[in-house]
Structure 1
Amino acid sequence: MTGIVPASAPCAMARAGFDKYLVIGSNSFTGASMVSYLLDQGADVVGISRSDEPHPAFLPYRWKKADRFRFRKLDLNHDLDAIMQLVTAERFPCIINFAAQSMVGESWANPDHWFMTNVVSTVRLHERLRTCDFLERYVHVTTPEVYGNATGTLTEDAVFDPSTPYAVSRAAGDMSLRSYFRAYGFPVLFTRAANVYGPGQRLYRIVPRTILFIKLGRKLQLHGGGTSERSFIHAADVADATRRIACNGKLGDSYHISTDRIVTIRALVEMICAMMGARFEDQVEIVGERLGKDAAYKLDSSKLRSELGWSDQITLEQGIEQTIAWINRWFEELKSQPFDYAHKP
């Protein structure tokens, strides 16, 4: 991969999918959901993450036959040589990278940990990958947090204005990849999704946490009264969009993945309470807002819809119903799982 390429380099022809993928960060919620989706599409998938696979309740691909999936425990910060040995041995045509330190508020406590994973180790990976002539597509799964506390609807060319160490670290990684695309023709595509949710999500996230706390009769802390606005999108819709982008997106381009529906966090919690027959006032405790919390992200996903024919298929109500059903199915096991985020450097 050498030489300068145009600002938008489309696929030579529409592609249904690759036969084989490497998913970095396969233990993450979106990573595991992506693995499950790709297996359903008939692909072979190798997943790598720095920790052992979590409880099967958090791995959608373990809820069915997964004989075309292989897992390797490898840490981007410490095992780059082993990762590259795997990459060169398998000659993956497509890599999708979900790996990141991704908690926003917690990034203030140890910002250097976020920069090590999201910038330093990520750039080291890209520097090694850029000489792999078999790599056709590299999907960098990033975040709308890079835009900061923006107003109005955001298109993919919105200016970066990050508000937290997490967001700054992701913006730095994104900008590094932009330079690699321009300088080397590195075959990158960027995705930025709205708030992803669905069955299998870790319990410290707002949707499963609310459902679980209602079932347990525990009070949910609602930061800042839940006034911040977000779009919530089902993991299956995100996986479908990501595959379309991986296969047929324009190299070097960014794509927003979002529904058009915006809700406040309070309205989301009220909806879940109503669906579960609980009183909002009995379930919620209002607490102070988190440091650097952005008020709203309103992503314009018209580019993804018009160029790649994508549309979201699962309504928020349907997705919440699915998540309630998932928690009901695994309730006894989930009660013994961590309810709060535990940071790992």
Structure 2
Amino acid sequence: MSRQLRILVTGGAGFIGSHYVRRLVRGAYPAFAGAAVVVLDKLTYAGTEAALEPVAGDERLRLVIGDICDADLLDDLLPGTDVVVHFAAESHVDRSITGAAEFVRTNVEGTHTLLRACRNAGVGRFVQVSTDEVYGSIAEGSWREDQPLDPSSPYSASKASADLLALAYHRTYGLPVCVTRCSNNYGPYQFPEKMIPLFVTNLLDGGTVPLYGSGHNVREWLHVDDHCRGVQLVAEAGRPGTVYHVGGGTELTNRELTSLLLRELGADWQDAVRPAPDRPGHDLRYSIDDTRIRTELGYRPRIDFRTGLADTVRWYAENRSWWEPLKIRAAVGGAVTAPARGA
């Protein structure tokens, strides 16, 4: 009888991580069917057990509340683990600007602690989930995976540092590491400090939405389900030491996205939109070339943006019990722009 596959998902109670776990446990990824899944999550303000509630009763799933900076905990958890998918991160750019220390601790020191423990435990594959923000802004064209990193914020700098550490662990120690870098995610269970859920929940409450600067900053949008499928393809068959871009293919200015959200919720620009001072170091445009993952692993985004956006708006309208307490607890509602890649 073959041994049961064992997967550790860090940050698995956050937005993207919990989507990956729900899909994994429900059998959406046949190569990992029947796997034992351990979620390691600190349950900070952006991680909730409620995000795992739909699969909480599955006997193959275990939630461990803990910190990736805890070396002793990792040494206990990792032996026997086949694959680590590392979503855990501090991810909001605005928070990194007002206080960078926690981003360095979690994203850099935490990733290093995890890498070291994986090397000691002989983990078979490590997927570092990252962001297109590590490249900085691009005026025309799209970033390829071999472009130099030029991050603008403490958040993106901490993710760039984590990526380089992960790749160095492959080159120096032979740890089978792959890095994924995605465009802007959206979908259900995203913490309402990021642009789409913040704007949607504010509008559902009859409030206003803050738009940074001129609103002409451009982002490429990716449904969380398409992102998680890309991560899974890399977890199954990515080449160790390789970076893969996971793109959504829909580029919009923040003004264009705001107009779409207003239309979905029946709100008027003049009444609902208020200008906000621009973010320091605000990148104008992100765009990634995802040819590598398409040609090597067969990735294609499946969810049309308009359809995915409408479904996301509907989810927030129907799940007030999830997001209302979070907004109250975190006092969310102020200025925000296109979101970082929260896990």
Q: Is this a same-fold pair by TM over 0.5?
A: yes
CA distance, structure 1, for counterparts of residue 171 and residue 57 of structure 2? 38
How many residues matched?
A: 319
DSSP-derived class of the 2:327 partner: coil
For the Cα contact (< 8 Å) 1:44–1:69, is it kept in 2?
yes
1:285 corresponds to which of 274, 278, 284: 274
Measured after TM superposition, the shift of residue 94 of structure 1 is 0.3
Q: Which residue of 2 aligns with 1:27?
A: 13
2:41 corresponds to which of 45, 49, 54: 49
1:139 corresponds to which of 120, 127, 131: 127
DSSP-derived class of the 1:108 partner: helix
Q: 1:250 to 1:339 in 2, by over 3 A?
A: farther
User: Matches of residues 182-221 of structure 1 in structure 2 within 5 Å?
Assistant: 182-221=171-210
User: Matches of residues 49-198 of structure 1 in structure 2 within 5 Å?
Assistant: 49-51=41-43, 54=48, 56=50, 59=51, 61-64=52-55, 66-67=57-58, 68-77=60-69, 79-88=70-79, 91-133=80-122, 135-151=123-139, 152-198=141-187
Deviations 1:62-82 (A, max 9, x none): 2356402110101123x2211
Measured after TM superposition, the shift of residue 217 of structure 1 is 0.8
Deviations 1:214-247 (A, max 9, x none): 1111011111132110111111111111110101
CA distance, structure 1, for counterparts of residue 114 and residue 56 of structure 2? 31
For the Cα contact (< 8 Å) 2:167–2:241, is it kept in 1?
yes
* 4+ runs deviating over 3 angstroms: 339-343
Measured after TM superposition, the shift of residue 334 of structure 1 is 2.9
Q: Does 1:245 align with 2:234?
A: yes
Q: 1:179 to 1:337 in 2, by over 3 A?
A: closer
Deviations 1:141-175 (A, max 9, x none): 11111111233311111110111111221111211
Deviations 1:163-199 (A, max 9, x none): 1111221111211222221111111000111111101
For the Cα contact (< 8 Å) 2:176–2:240, is it kept in 1?
yes
CA distance, structure 1, for counterparts of residue 321 and residue 6 of structure 2? 36
Measured after TM superposition, the shift of residue 55 of structure 1 is 5.7
Q: Does 1:38 align with 2:30?
A: no
Structure 2 spans left out of the alignment, 5+ residues:
28-32, 333-343
Deviations 1:22-69 (A, max 9, x none): 10011210110110111122333110111276262xx1x423564021
DSSP-derived class of the 2:230 partner: helix
Measured after TM superposition, the shift of residue 109 of structure 1 is 2.3
Q: 1:342 to 1:25 in 2, by over 3 A?
A: farther
CA distance, structure 1, for counterparts of residue 231 and residue 264 of structure 2? 30
Q: Which residue of 2 aligns with 1:9?
A: none
1:257 corresponds to which of 232, 246, 251: 246
Measured after TM superposition, the shift of residue 105 of structure 1 is 2.2
Q: TM-score scaled to structure 2, two decimals?
A: 0.88
CA distance, structure 2, for counterparts of residue 102 and residue 256 of structure 1? 18
Q: TM-score scaled to structure 1, two decimals?
A: 0.87
CA distance, structure 1, for counterparts of residue 68 and residue 331 of structure 2? 19
CA distance, structure 2, for counterparts of residue 225 and residue 131 of structure 1? 50
CA distance, structure 2, for counterparts of residue 340 and residue 225 of structure 1? 30
Structure 1 spans left out of the alignment, 5+ residues:
1-17
Specify the code of the residue in structure 1 equivalent to 2:48: P
Percent identical pairs in the alignment equals: 30
Specify the code of the residue in structure 1 equivalent to 2:234: I
Measured after TM superposition, the shift of residue 332 of structure 1 is 4.6
DSSP-derived class of the 2:326 partner: coil
Deviations 1:81-121 (A, max 9, x none): 11220111xx1100000111111122122222211111123
Supply the RMSD in Å over aligned alpha carbons: 1.9
Q: 1:145 to 1:341 in 2, by over 3 A?
A: farther
